[in-house]
């Protein structure tokens, strides 16, 4: 049975933020999840967990059955029954799964198209799969092709400039408001990739201190360690807000995590020192009423885009160019797979020819080259000739169509000149010589 590609998971498009948070897997937990997949009989799989998605990219002979097994593992992880989680999962198979893997690696399926973190996250998940012995030839070939497409997209289109320009705009506004960022404290609320990207840019610009908080404390603490920053429990958010000169929200839970009363109280404790708020989440994290507070300067991604002077037309053109590269890479990948699929048949044919050649030399020692090659050709053509005649002799007539198709294929495979008229393939019915012991006619 032929192995097929499939993907199953939950993303910002299909799953609530609360469920996605529970499903999100820290890097240290990934090996255990891969062990679960291996124990379930899934031999090629990668567990990818980002702020936007948690999904398994895999290969299996029975992809739909394997996807149901993985859905059960995911439901167990979040503490839900499979039917309760099923509506928040997506399953893709075959060509749709391959296209999805390419789109993810190329950052075309991210909340912020072009954000640069996803490719590194895919490669990290790939390393875990390889270490667990779950990166077989089919999965390896798919991922390497996706990496090649991602490299081309980065090199040949300006798609990554969109996310980069948003970060530069955030840094510009922060400096305009606060001046020297070395004296400032930043607070990251939520662990979305765009929020992390904005904070990364602010730190490169000199941000003095960073605090990380998220609705799930264990995730925030792990992220704080990775980012070499301070951790604040979600329950202590009011204290963290008081010390924050820059607040970046990136949870995308579908509900507001920063309210006007909450930030208003923090501003009082700050003695009205201004706060720059970046809402880097989709859907929004910040209550619109926050923008009405004195000394609160709120920017969402659209505001930052306007600061960066990057128009929608330019972004859409870059995205279309990136998809064109992906489509070209997908076609090349499909061709490569088809060519590889033909290799066993070619190898079997070559082995058969070689076996017949050796057998003839053993049986007919002392023949001159002309006689030996003539006998070899007769022997090799005997089987195909008999098969074609059997098709033509089929009493219900179906064999005639089968024979015609086989003859057309032979002419194509061996690059033969088709004879005029309806006599295609008639040369196979003619044989001037009969090999001793073999009937060719």
- β-pair type (209-213, 53-60): unpaired
Listed residue (120, 117, 257, 121) closest to 187, CA to CA? 257
72 is in an annotated binding site: no
Cβ-in-10-Å burial (0-12, 13-18, 19+) of 420 comes to exposed
Q: What are phi and psi of 247, to 5 degrees?
A: -120, 125
Report whether 426 belongs to an annotated binding site.
no
Residue 15 annotated as part of some ligand binding site: no
| Location of structure tokens 């002309």 | 370
Residue 121 labelled as part of a binding site? yes
With both helix axes pointing from N to C terminus, report the angle between 94-105 and 117-131 in degrees, rounded to the nearest 10. 120
Give the helix ranges, DSSP H, for 92-228: 94-105, 117-131, 137-156, 159-178, 193-204, 217-226
Is 190 annotated in a binding site? The answer is yes
- What letter does residue 1 receive in the DSSP assignment? -
* Structural contact between residues 406 and 391, judged by C-beta atoms closer than 8 angstroms: yes
Query: Max Cα separation, the chain?
Result: 108
Which among 91, 57, 304 is positioned nearest to 202, based on CA atoms? 304
Nearest CA among 295, 277, 275 for reference residue 286: 277
Distance between CA atoms of 440 and 209, rounded to whole angstroms?
A: 87
The answer on whether 33 is annotated among ligand-binding residues is no
Give the integer Cα–Cα distance in Å for 376 and 369. 10
15 tagged catalytic: no
Q: Does 192 show up as a binding residue in the annotation? A: yes
Shortest CA distance to 265 belongs to which of 286, 239, 234, 289? 239
Rounded to an integer, what distance in angstroms lies between the CA atom of residue 356 and that of residue 349?
A: 11
| 193 carries a ligand binding annotation | yes
Determine whether the annotation assigns residue 366 to a binding site: no
Alpha carbons 58 and 80: distance in angstroms, whole number: 23
Tokens 């969402």 map to which residue?
300
Q: How far apart are CA 27 and CA 129, in angstroms?
A: 12
- Among residues 15, 51, 106, 184, the one annotated as catalytic is 51
Q: In this structure, what are the phi and psi dihedrals at residue 312, rounded to the nearest 5 degrees?
A: -60, -40
Answer yes or no: is 183 a known binding residue.
no
Query: Residues within the annotated binding site for NADP(+)?
Result: 190-195
Which are the catalytic amino acids? 51
Query: Residues within the annotated binding site for substrate?
Result: 50-53, 110, 121
Query: Residues within the annotated binding site?
Result: 50-53, 110, 121, 190-195
């Amino acid at each position: 049975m032929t192995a097929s590609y499939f993907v199953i998971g939950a993303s910002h498009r299909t799953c609530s933020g609360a469920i996605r948070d529970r499903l999100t897997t820290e890097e240290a937990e990934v090996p255990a999840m891969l062990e679960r997949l291996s124990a379930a009989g899934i031999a090629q799989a990668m567990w990818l967990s980002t702020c936007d998605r948690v999904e398994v990219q895999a290969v299996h002979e029975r992809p739909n059955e394997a996807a149901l097994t993985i859905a059960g593992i995911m439901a167990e992880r979040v503490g839900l029954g499979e039917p309760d989680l099923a509506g928040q999962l997506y399953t893709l198979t075959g060509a749709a799964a391959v296209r999805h893997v390419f789109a993810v690696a190329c950052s075309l399926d991210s909340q912020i198209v072009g954000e640069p973190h996803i490719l590194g996250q895919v490669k990290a998940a790939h390393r875990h799969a390889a270490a667990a012995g779950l990166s077989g030839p089919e999965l390896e070939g798919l991922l390497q092709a996706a990496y090649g497409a991602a490299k081309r997209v980065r090199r040949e289109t300006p798609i990554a400039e969109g996310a980069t320009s948003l970060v530069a705009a955030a840094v510009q506004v922060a400096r305009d408001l606060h001046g020297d960022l070395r004296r400032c404290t930043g607070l990251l609320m939520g662990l979305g990739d765009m929020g992390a990207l904005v904070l990364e840019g602010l730190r490169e610009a000199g941000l003095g201190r960073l605090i990380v908080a998220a609705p799930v404390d264990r995730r925030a603490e792990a992220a704080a360690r990775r980012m070499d920053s301070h951790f604040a429990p979600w329950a202590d958010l009011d204290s963290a807000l008081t010390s924050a000169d820059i607040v970046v929200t990136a949870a995308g839970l579908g509900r507001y995590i920063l309210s006007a009363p909450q930030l208003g109280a923090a501003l009082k404790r700050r003695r009205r020192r201004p706060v720059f708020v970046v809402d880097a989440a989709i859907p929004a994290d910040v209550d619109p009423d926050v923008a009405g507070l004195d000394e609160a300067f709120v920017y969402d991604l659209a505001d930052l885009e306007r600061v960066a002077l990057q128009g929608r037309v330019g972004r859409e053109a870059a995205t279309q160019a990136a998809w064109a590269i992906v489509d070209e890479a997908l076609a090349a990948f499909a061709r490569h797979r088809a060519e590889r699929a033909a290799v066993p048949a070619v190898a079997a044919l070559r082995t058969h020819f070689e076996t017949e050649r050796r057998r003839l030399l053993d049986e007919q020692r002392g023949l001159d080259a002309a006689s030996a090659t003539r006998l070899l050709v007769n022997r090799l053509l005997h089987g195909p000739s008999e098969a074609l005649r059997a098709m033509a002799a089929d009493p219900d007539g179906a064999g005639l169509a089968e024979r015609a198709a086989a003859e057309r294929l032979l002419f194509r495979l061996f690059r033969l000149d088709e004879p005029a008229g309806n006599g295609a393939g008639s040369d196979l019915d003619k044989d001037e010589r009969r090999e001793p012991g073999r009937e060719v006619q």
